[in-house]
Amino acid sequence: MSQLIYPGIVLRNHYTIVRELGHGGFGRTYLAQDQHRFDELCVLKEFAPQVQGSFALKKSQELFEREAQILYQLKHSQIPRFRELFRETIDNKGYLFFVQDYVEGLNYRSLLNQRLRQGLQFTEAEIIQLLFQLLPVLDYIHCYGVIHRDISPENIIQHQSDGLPILIDFGGVKLIQAKVESELAAQQGQNPTPTCLGKVGYAPDEQMRLGRVYPHSDLYGLAATTLVLLTGKEPQQLIDPQTLIWNWRKYTNLSPEFGEILDKMLAYRQSDRFPSAPDIIAALSALNSPLIQPISEQSIPVTQGGVTLTQNQSLSSQTIPTQGGKSSGIPATLLVFISVLIMGGLGWLGGHYWLNNYANHDLNQLSKTEEKRKEVLLEKRRLLGIDFGFFTVLVNEEFYTRYPEQQGRTLTDKPSDSIWREKWDQIAGEFLQRLAKLSDQSRMKLGTYSRDDLDYWTATVNQLSLSRQSLYDLADAKFFYFFPEQSKTADLLELPIGQVWQAFTNDVVHQLQAGLTWERVEFASKKTRKTLKETLKPGEGKAYIARFNKNQVLQVLLKPSEPSTLLSIYTPGTTQRAQSLLEDSSKRLWSGRLPDSGDYEFVVVSESSKPVNYELILETR
């Protein structure tokens, strides 16, 4: 993150930066709280293109403002709302930002990965539902002359509040630098190169090779996305490299009529594709499938996100309006019937999706006790600022670990599953209580930590003359105190719970930087013995650094003798690789001749459930 923009800084007097969400060639993206909207979360996108010269920068900003104006016109419930564009000067450096709504939920890449871990993919019924939900959105933006250009599983989020797919990361802004370079080349008498954008496999050939985009370019990307969700394979695995024809049928079994629709959306020749979203909607509506049989006018129970609703209106001839007052032409009977068949199957997708969804509906399938229990969990998670998608994956992991017999199935809102819903909620409650022990800053980053963070933290503590081993000892003490059921031998970083370990590590780094959990030991003149006294709270530790010479004889004694207090001793490793003389040991006494000269580290951690007083005695000769 830029040193000038960091968590806690307030921009434009009301946007408080929470954390960085990502970065690329055009700047960084930040999660922020809007103080003027009761700290509602929003997204700030910094525009800092990598272009040379004042003219290029000015031209880039003009194009950026023009693109922002286009995005401002798009007002659709399935597109993040553009709020404003503003400039900010920090330490005499100018910044340009635009602000959008923050969409909370899992993207479809994460949803697919959840399925794949259970040996599952998306079903044909779910994909038809997804198409009916997204095609009107594409029709809406295409009517404004906007092409998304970058449709993929990563750029579609299942919104936690209503389960609808949200289209994010429009590619227009990403074109700006290429447009600037093209105009500069033209001014200099050079042939401009085509402006190309898109992900390989998700964008058609003419878009990737020539930079030409049309409404059906987005429809191609949508079809490619659906096949990835259906097969669990990437486009490169589904496209014949010689003929560029999609060969997906050996990986999934679809109805012939639906397969033909996808093939037409993915046709290599532009003239062979559906020209517009309404054309695909019409083709899907004409499918001779039991999924879309018309139904009679009646009260229909619709299960959505585990919540049963009732439709008490005439459905025989209604159409569903889209944005701008236009009709999508989709019979309401079709959408409701698909909802009956499909949304119930999505109800507990990836665990308890409806934990955040149910509050908007009538929970007539749940008891008042369970309804209240879920309201409490919902409010706790929101107050703690924990990302919904990450929290769902985290609790799922623990749920399936404790109850492996439930692996591979989703929970329903039926009374027969009430005991399992209660167990899931119990785990969720336990985790929320434990995660509350993290600092706000570390907790709100859950789900975004990477191995790069470990390298950064190591470099940070190295500046304090502390090693990675000492950092991990202190982090382990905190983490395993709150999560004692986790394996100390497993590679946690490969699991969702590893994000929690990293969050605790982040807190430990900040404590070390503040000088709260480490101390440099200095021996008074002619003194060879030093006694260090400390009280450790449960899950806490402290590191000491003392400088010794090679071949000195050192004796280390730890009092008291409780096995719950562990001791580690690390060599400096200045002339040979650093080694541990003791590591997480319950031994109270160590003595020996030192193998190297430099700073030795002594780490004391407590595994006790109550405060521990100790003395660490260092004696040398």
Q: Which residues have a Cβ under 8 Å from the Cβ of 190 and sit 6 or more positions away? A: none
| Separation CA 548–CA 619 (nearest Å) | 11
Q: In the structure encoding, which two tokens stand for residue 587, read together?
A: 């031994």
Residue found under tokens 């430990």 = 508
145, 74 contact by CB (below 8 A): no
Distance (Å, rounded) from C-alpha 453 to C-alpha 555?
36
Q: Of these residues, 34, 139, 150, 599, which one is catalytic? A: 150
What are the Cα distances from residue 124, in Å, to 120, 257, 259, 541?
Answer: 12, 12, 10, 53
**DSSP letter assigned to residue 559:** E
Q: Which residues lie below 8 Å from residue 549, measured CB to CB, with a gap of 6+? A: 594, 597
Query: Beta 541-548 vs 518-521: how paired, if at all?
Result: parallel
Distance CA 368, CA 341 (A): 26
Instruction: State yes or no: is 279 an active-site residue.
Output: no
DSSP 127-179: HHHHHHHHHHHHHHHHHTT------SGGGEEEETTT--EEE---TTGGGHHHH
| Residue 549 identity (one-letter amino acid) | N
Nearest CA to 601 out of 589, 613, 583, 621 is that of 583
Q: Which residues are catalytic, by number?
A: 150
